[in-house]
Structure 1
Amino acid sequence: MPAHVLVIDDEPQIRKFLRISLAAQGYQVSEAATGTEGLAQAALGQPDLVILDLGLPDRDGQEVLAELREWSAVPVLVLSVRADEREKVRALDAGANDYVTKPFGIQEFLARSRALLRQSPTTATPQIAALDVGDLRVDFAYRRVTLAASEIALTRKEYAVLAALAHYPGRVVTQRQLLIDIWGPTHAQDSHYLRIVIGHLRQKLADDPVAPRYIVTEPGVGYRLRHDG
């Protein structure tokens, strides 16, 4: 199967140039002109690599990157006119794997893409568009959570924690992993942050911590989302 590359860029000429160049390397290429469309395609299309512009018309690319990293480990190559070092550091700290500044040389861009793709197919966690656990549904494509078909309003952190658990259904995700991935490395020991968010999630999902239907505590280790079926 050819590698699947998703290009998220609002400039049609850039998308066309990248589509032709990547297709000439044998890759399957998808395109999105907005951040919202790009996130939906990332969830539904299961790309092996995402090329992300930061200057998108509907939302900032840094925000798109942060949201993508809440549920996906797909390699991301940022391609942007923003050459400021602080912008690059911000993107890399938020989870970008590489950063190329426009204008760019196509051969270097393709070499960087190949390097990221070598990391992707065998090691990336399989992506799914949505997960159902009983009456609970986590829709990764649209960042929606429903319980018995009724949408549940979650904060950004609440959704990030639930999505992280839903990405590994039935498996324990450690407290440390959740804290680092969602709050950042400097909060690896701040387990009270996580306990508060888990408590709010259980309230909103009407989930009894003593006999949980959804979120199970593994004492001293972490949490898992039940997936008995």
Structure 2
Amino acid sequence: MHKILIVEDHTDIQDLLHDVLSPTYQILTALDGISALQVFNDQQPDLIILDLMLPNITGESVLKTIRKTSSVPILVLTAIQSKTKTVALLQAGANDYLTKPFDIDELLARIQVQLRALPSAIQPTHDVLKFNEICLDSNTHHITVASQPLVLPKKEFNLLKLLLKEPHQVFEKAQLYEAVWGEPYQDAENTLNVHLSNLRIKLNELAEQPHYIVSVWGIGVRLV
């Protein structure tokens, strides 16, 4: 069953969408931008229905943050009728949009179109990430390094999972922090560095080939 994350701060609209979609899909919900990013990172939904007018972090910011690390389909709900604005949303990474008030049948059809295009629609949902000696199972949260079990707290687990998804990509620190913590990267470098350092130490203690996480000067970090 596909997972759909509904990000909508109006509970009446969220309840309506939940009632309509829950017979067919597993529904996740968030009332603001911060919790949306947290739920996205923890649950990895197959599609996101994203309202633009959100408290804390705007829908546009949520869209841009998710697009730094994921190509998950995002269907934007907006009350804005401006063609210029909707074109900008599509250019920023939205897959589709509907203006409020929207037709439920049209929404269902657009969701089906996006989900049919997913490669995962015909593949098992079991999500196992591997890189050299590291193996991480996103569903069971089981990690092994050189065949030895590794238990990580939530933030370190999510950092490692993000790095493993794109093992050859250099991640900016702001990019990592916003994806894992679900909030803007402001004066948070020390927090991120501590978690990366702890993760690096734990990996190196078990690895036969240590130094998996390395710093790329002036940019961020990557796996090697």
TM class by shorter chain equals 0.5 to 0.7
* Residue identity matched to 2:91: D
Shift of 1:115: 0.6
Shift of 1:213: 4.4
Shift of 1:4: 0.8
Contact 1:43 1:140 (C-alpha < 8 Å) held by counterparts: no
1:136-155 equivalences under 5 Å are 139=155
1:86 match: 84
* Residue identity matched to 2:89: A
The unaligned stretches of length 5 or more in structure 1 are 147-162, 183-201, 218-222
Q: What is the rounded CA distance, in whole Å, between the counterparts of 1:64 and 1:141 in structure 2?
A: 21
Contact 1:132 1:138 (C-alpha < 8 Å) held by counterparts: no
Out of 70, 73, 83, the position equivalent to 1:72 is 70
Structure 1, residues 77-111: CA drift from partner, whole Å, max 9, x if none? 00111221222122111111111111111101100
Q: Secondary structure at the match of 1:56?
A: coil
2:11 match: 12
Distance 1:132 1:138, change over 3 A: farther
* Residue identity matched to 1:18: L
Q: What is the rounded CA distance, in whole Å, between the counterparts of 2:119 and 2:3 in structure 1?
A: 10
Contact 1:3 1:27 (C-alpha < 8 Å) held by counterparts: yes
* Residue identity matched to 1:33: L
1:56 match: 54
* Residue identity matched to 1:107: D
* Residue identity matched to 1:21: V
1:42 match: 40
Contact 1:43 1:141 (C-alpha < 8 Å) held by counterparts: no
Which segments of structure 1 move beyond 3 Å, counting only runs of 4 or more? 123-134, 136-142
TM-score (norm 2): 0.61
Contact 1:55 1:61 (C-alpha < 8 Å) held by counterparts: yes
2:178 match: none
TM-score (norm 1): 0.60
Q: What is the rounded CA distance, in whole Å, between the counterparts of 1:110 and 1:141 in structure 2?
A: 34
Percent identity between the two aligned chains: 35
Shift of 1:68: 1.0
Q: Secondary structure at the match of 1:41?
A: helix
Contact 1:53 1:80 (C-alpha < 8 Å) held by counterparts: yes
Q: Secondary structure at the match of 1:29?
A: strand
* Residue identity matched to 1:7: I
The unaligned stretches of length 5 or more in structure 2 are 130-137, 176-192, 201-209
